[in-house]
């Protein structure tokens, strides 16, 4: 008798992935196909896990005993109120084993996690928020950060990160600004490619240390009407093509991103989850995207109506919403089964062809094969526990925090000279608070500015402390209710803080936003967008009271978005923009204050003078920003701006070739010298302006940059390439091309005219 066991083609790891996909797809019923288009998140306690977050086989059999399988499980890390690394690995293994063993075809599930600036989980390392990572102007560092994030998430059983966020943040009232890499399409594109490569590596996933990157929110989410989350985005096709889409294209074409998440907003009346042009013609047609599209949470339901929030009202009910989304190109519904379960009936009724379901399922199966889940879907809990404790990740978090810190003002107050300063007053609502920002986990280590300053000062230097005032009372990013500090109690506290400040030689003032005053507004009872950019509550009164003491002020500005700090800028002797620095925040701040490190970050977004100056992005058209009655239209601090404890000089700006043909490249060179007494970093920035064109062009656009480190007295030559892409745009006929003519190339330390040197490049046909 022949006892040879026949291996089905889709289970044969020696076959090409596409061949395995087609074999498996041909064996699947419509119920099994649609099951791959479903996810479970909030329903985990009812269907997969017990109250401790451990796998519950009885619940799983009751819900999934039909054997059809499941596409994804969302955020296993949050089960049971939050799992340790080891516990999450054990839970994901158990859930995975159930679906592999108990579903008819043994199709494994994908576990997805939030990984915006670290794995948002208990024991996950926390790095600076993306707005801070963009301040580093260091794509290589960003790639290393997301490589570490991927390793931690994958070791615990996760396979997909719902990051990076490639929105172009053009309205700082928007609470999600912190999640972005800022306002510039070129910078966002560079950081986006770096993040994708960090998450995915070479895309083969052979070492089980990488995860699928999900670029979001596709598209134009970052300039919502009135600055309110999910609002319509009113942009022209040219702005959409030149500002909103380029970073996504680069992340997909250059970076190889395998997943895309559409945005909540509408563009020209069409919500992205129903936009066949966006997800079909552009994404899959022009860019040849072969990965899979995941819905944003509850966004398919919103094509109909999402109770107590809003609805787009493109569909009468969830069935119609499902049909709209699946036709547009959304492959899987997140986070829970809601609209897409009706696809089985819609296929049987002939409303949706099964061939379309095959198109939607095919890339998700391909991803599972690419991840190696059919061959080895399990992880080692001991390795998960080890990797979240890897000292290298803590050091990387510190390096990223150091490089994020941006010096906005310094009248000689910094670095602090402890031989001359005997008493330091650390004052402010953010001084003794762990500041991580949104989508953060609970890292094993997290420091505050106050504790780090106390640890750093030498013997004989006294550190005083007072909270000054409260921004909000308690609270976290996740908590719906926001309770502002009581104004009268704050004013009493401010008077006490001023008395403390009067005893000191210098005041370190820690103020700004916190995770409640600027955040994602995901529900009517969970708001986060603001109509003001001023410091919240009585913080300006605190600034005034401390300034009246006459003591020098060093301001630590924590924030997730630009704050209009005119009063602070006038009264502080020094200002450090920190954004949210992650778990090593305290140590990095102390090092910057006392000169152990030299700040070298640059602003990835403009800081406007007031909310009335919005929009304030630097790459505006020539007719914009002409001025206001009684008010300057210039920003308070410009894109690309950032000081140092040393000084730099730019000289000998020159071109490799001053005249090139359309389609050719050239190089620009500049000599950069450290003219000060400290080792420091400078970011050399290249901006381009087309001087005469068939349509109006921005006054300047970033098209290259390089962060360099120089010793005192050292001079280096920095080379930046000028490619056709740096000169091209969508012309009067909406053709993407380089028009012959003259281009002004500007090189310097920020986007401000006074910080730039210029020359002219001639482009001929």
Active site residues: 296
* Distance between CA atoms of residues 503 and 460, nearest Å: 15
CB atoms within 10 A of CB 129: 30
Start-to-end CA span in the chain (Å): 77
The pair of structure tokens assigned to 527 is 């708001």
Signed CA dihedral, 313, 315, 316, 321: sign only = negative
The pair of structure tokens assigned to 161 is 């990160």
SS3 call for 710: strand
What phi and psi values does residue 277 have, to the nearest 5 degrees?
-65, -45
* Distance between CA atoms of residues 707 and 209, nearest Å: 28
Which is nearest to 187 in space by CA: 173, 202, 166? 166
Which is nearest to 415 in space by CA: 568, 576, 586? 576
User: Please, are residues 376 and 390 in contact by the beta-carbon 8 Å criterion?
Assistant: no
**Contacts of 233 by beta carbon, 8 Å cutoff, 6+ apart:** 220, 221, 223, 224, 225, 244, 265, 266, 267
Angle between helix 139-155 and 391-404 (nearest 10): 150
* Distance between CA atoms of residues 491 and 513, nearest Å: 18
Residue 557's DSSP bridge partners are 511, 577
- Per-residue HEC secondary structure of 452-498 comes to HHHHHCCCCCEEEEECCCCCECCCCCCCCCCCECCHHHHHHHHHHHH
Q: What is the DSSP letter of 10?
A: G
Residue 262's DSSP bridge partners are 218
User: Please, are residues 284 and 276 in contact by the beta-carbon 8 Å criterion?
Assistant: no
* Distance between CA atoms of residues 523 and 526, nearest Å: 5
What phi and psi values does residue 75 have, to the nearest 5 degrees?
45, 60
Helix (H) / strand (E) containing 545: helix 539-548
Q: What is the DSSP letter of 420?
A: T
* Distance between CA atoms of residues 218 and 650, nearest Å: 39
What are the residue ranges of helices labelled H in 156-211? 185-200
User: Please, are residues 231 and 225 in contact by the beta-carbon 8 Å criterion?
Assistant: yes
Residues recorded for the chain: 765
For 502-527, letters b (16+ CB in 10 Å) and e give eebebbbbbbbbbbbbbbbbbeeebb
Question: CA 696: distance to chain centroid?
Answer: 30
Question: CA 129: distance to chain centroid?
Answer: 7
């Amino acid at each position: 008798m022949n006892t040879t066991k026949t291996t089905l083609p889709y289970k044969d790891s020696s076959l090409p992935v596409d061949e395995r996909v087609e074999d498996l797809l041909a064996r699947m019923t419509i119920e099994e196909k649609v099951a791959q288009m479903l996810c479970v998140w909030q329903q985990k306690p009812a269907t997969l896990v017990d109250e401790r977050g451990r796998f519950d086989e009885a619940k799983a059999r009751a819900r999934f005993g039909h054997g059809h399988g499941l596409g994804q499980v969302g955020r296993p890390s949050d089960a049971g109120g939050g799992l340790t690394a080891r516990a999450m690995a054990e839970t994901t293994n158990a859930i995975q084993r159930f679906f592999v063993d108990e579903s008819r075809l043994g199709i494994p599930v994908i576990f997805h996690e939030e990984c915006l600036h670290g794995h948002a989980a208990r024991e996950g390392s926390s790095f600076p928020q993306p707005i801070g990572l963009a301040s580093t102007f260091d794509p290589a560092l960003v790639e290393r950060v997301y490589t570490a994030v991927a390793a931690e998430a994958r070791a615990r059983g996760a396979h997909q990160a719902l990051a990076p966020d490639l929105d172009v943040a053009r309205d700082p009232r928007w609470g999600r600004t912190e999640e972005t890499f800022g306002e510039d399409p070129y910078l966002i594109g560079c950081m986006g490619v770096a993040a994708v490569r960090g998450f995915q590596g070479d895309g083969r996933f052979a070492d089980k240390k990488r995860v699928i990157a999900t670029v979001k929110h596709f598209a134009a989410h970052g300039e919502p009407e009135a600055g309110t989350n999910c609002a319509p985005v009113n942009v022209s096709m040219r702005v959409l093509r030149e500002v909103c889409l380029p970073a996504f294209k680069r992340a997909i074409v250059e970076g190889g991103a395998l997943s895309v998440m559409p945005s909540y907003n509408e563009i020209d009346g069409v919500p992205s989850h129903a936009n066949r042009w966006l997800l079909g013609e552009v994404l899959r047609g022009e860019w040849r995207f072969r990965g899979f599209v995941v819905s944003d949470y509850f966004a398919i339901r919103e094509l109909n109506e999402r109770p107590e929030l809003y609805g787009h009202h493109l569909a009468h009910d969830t069935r119609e919403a499902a049909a709209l989304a699946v036709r547009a190109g959304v492959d899987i519904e997140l986070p829970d089964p809601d609209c897409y379960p009706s696809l089985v009936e819609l296929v049987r009724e002939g409303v949706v062809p099964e061939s379309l379901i095959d198109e939607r399922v095919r890339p998700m199966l391909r991803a599972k094969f690419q991840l190696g889940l059919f061959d080895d879907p399990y992880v080692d809990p001991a390795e998960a526990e080890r990797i979240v404790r890897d000292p290298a990740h803590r050091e990387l978090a510190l390096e990223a925090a150091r490089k994020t810190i941006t010096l906005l003002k310094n009248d000689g107050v910094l670095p602090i000279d402890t031989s001359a300063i005997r008493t330091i007053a650390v004052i402010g609502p953010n001084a003794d608070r762990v500041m991580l920002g949104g989508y953060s986990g609970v890292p094993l280590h997290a420091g505050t500015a106050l504790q780090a300053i106390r640890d750093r000062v030498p013997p004989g230097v006294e550190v005083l402390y007072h909270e000054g005032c409260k921004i909000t009372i308690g609270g976290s990013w996740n908590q719906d209710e926001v309770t502002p500090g009581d104004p009268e109690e704050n004013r009493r506290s401010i008077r006490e803080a001023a008395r403390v400040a009067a005893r000191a030689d210098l005041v370190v003032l820690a103020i700004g936003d916190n995770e409640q005053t600027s955040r994602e507004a995901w529900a009517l009872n969970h708001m986060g967008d603001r109509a003001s950019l001023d410091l919240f509550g009585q913080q300006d009164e605190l600034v005034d009271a401390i300034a009246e003491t006459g003591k020098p002020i060093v301001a630590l500005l924590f924030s997730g978005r630009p704050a209009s700090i005119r009063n602070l800028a006038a009264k502080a002797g020094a200002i450090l923009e920190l954004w949210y620095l992650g778990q090593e925040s305290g140590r990095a701040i102390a090092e910057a204050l006392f000169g152990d490190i030299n700040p070298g970050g640059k602003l990835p977004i403009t800081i406007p003078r007031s909310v009335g100056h919005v929009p304030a992005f630097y790459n505006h058209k020539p007719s914009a920003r002409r001025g206001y009655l009684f008010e300057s239209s210039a920003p308070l601090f410009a894109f690309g701006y950032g000081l140092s404890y040393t000084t730099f000089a730019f000289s000998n700006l020159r071109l490799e070739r001053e005249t090139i043909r359309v389609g050719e490249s050239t190089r620009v060179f500049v000599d950069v010298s450290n003219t000060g007494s400290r080792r420091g970093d400078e970011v050399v920035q290249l901006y381009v302006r087309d001087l005469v064109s068939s349509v109006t062009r921005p006054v300047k656009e970033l098209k290259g940059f390089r962060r360099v480190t120089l010793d005192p007295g050292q001079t280096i030559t920095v080379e930046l390439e000028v490619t056709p892409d740096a000169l091209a745009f969508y012309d009067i006929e909406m053709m993407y091309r380089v028009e012959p003519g003259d281009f002004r190339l500007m090189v310097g330390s920020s986007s401000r005219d006074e910080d730039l040197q210029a020359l002219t490049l001639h482009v001929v046909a």
